[in-house]
A = this chain, B = another copy of it.
């Protein structure tokens, strides 16, 4: 039986969401969530070597790996080194420039690009039907697309990390597409953007900022409104919480009750040691925060990947994994302690295959990490928890958020920048008068759905919402177990994309006919 490597649980942990017990004396004695922006599911580029599981290897699609030289700063002319951006490309089904074959372009997000390629079967599967080229570019500062030659150099400090921003990443994409098209004499070929999670935000923003480069975007599970006060800060954890409550009230109550018990245990003399045993940790628990973080990560990720069939997105999991977690928690023999029930539950998430003897917690939550940097600069998504959730109640506290970022990176967040640059406030009025061809697809089980666009904005900026979908389920490969509503959602997407393309070809023809 293997010990889980740091790689596996780290990738899963919501580092930034560690349930920090802020020493607020008697005023708030309960464990509190930190204010950090939660993490999206992704393979961290820092958790190398990455071993793809067998299932993931099967999901690998055929592509060529190439590299493109990018400016580190597109918006200034400072004398900075360039870097090599990795991208995956497949032209096998491409109809070519003469027939204006489309280019399907996935906006790579915060992780290694081949992992996103492996988990975005939808794009690969529909490309042949469209005669489309497929391109998966990697996001700067992740995977192999490292400025300054190496991860260690790129992640050294705030100065080297300075250019890890969404706007720079979008400019990378814009330049890469322009160059690719030129080299293939494919200037007239329409580009359709795809993206899930943060990648979905990038896809939507790219359509808004670079309409001359891409004719439309499928933005799946993209919480573009999870900024400032646009949506209530408790939205995310309310959805997580409700996913458990919906499954089983007793399960929800057990989790809710557990925080106080954990806290009492932790305050005992040998508390940390006892908890190390209860949760079968490989090394002695260093602080309660690590444990809170580990548990909270499991709940949040379970809500995100609460897919209707067995999947191996973050971890190998059964279908409807929250149902399974709650079954374990609820069905323990009478007399089983709350913490033992909890352990049985989270083991579904961390150890469904039963291969691990013990668990290694991430104990460096403040480590220099790409998403943490992004959360500490632009991606400031206010988060809180309410009294009636299964988490300890906690207000959003920007002061401590900012302090945490300063301590971690010596950087000051710019919490209003994203909405200034990309909009968000009064989103509908702005986009009703502007823009077109964006699909915001969301599953309501996904805790990120609350920060996304759930209503149509206009005829061509539309929301596709599924009640039982989770985090960008629509982007995953077809399986035999796909429910009808999922098939229908994907068909709607295909139909809309086809419409954009027809519209584009019509306008092109009208232009040629002039």
Contact = CB atoms under 8 A, between A and B. Distances in A.
A308 interface: no
A433 interface: yes
Given A504-B429, A511-B429, A162 B76 contact: yes
Interface string A190-221: 00000000000000000011111101000000
B377 A77 contact: yes
Contacts of A175: 420
B511 A211 contact: no
B212 A430 contact: yes
A419 to B, nearest CB: 8
A496 interface: no
Interface residues of A, number: 57
A159 interface: yes
Number of copies of this chain that the complex holds:
2
Contact of A158 (B74, B77, B174, B437): B77
Contacts of A338: none
Nearest to A504: B433
A294 to B, nearest CB: 30
Contact of A511 (B159, B377, B428, B504): B428
Contact of A429 (B76, B210, B425, B508): B508
A484 to B, nearest CB: 32
B212 A423 contact: yes
A172 B171 CA distance: 19
A168 B421 contact: no
Given A211-B423, A511-B428, A165 B76 contact: yes
Given A425-B187, A507-B429, A511-B428, A436 B437 contact: no
A427 interface: yes
Interface in A415-451: 416-417, 420-437
Interface of A: 71, 73-79, 158-159, 161-163, 165, 167-168, 171, 174-175, 178, 187-188, 208-213, 215, 377, 411, 414, 416-417, 420-437, 503-504, 507-508, 511
Contacts of A188: 426
Nearest to A417: B74
B435 A434 contact: yes
Given A75-B165, A76-B163, A433-B436, 15 more contacts: A73-B75, A74-B75, A75-B76, A76-B162, A76-B168, A77-B411, A79-B158, A79-B159, A171-B421, A174-B421, A211-B423, A429-B507, A433-B437, A433-B507, A434-B437
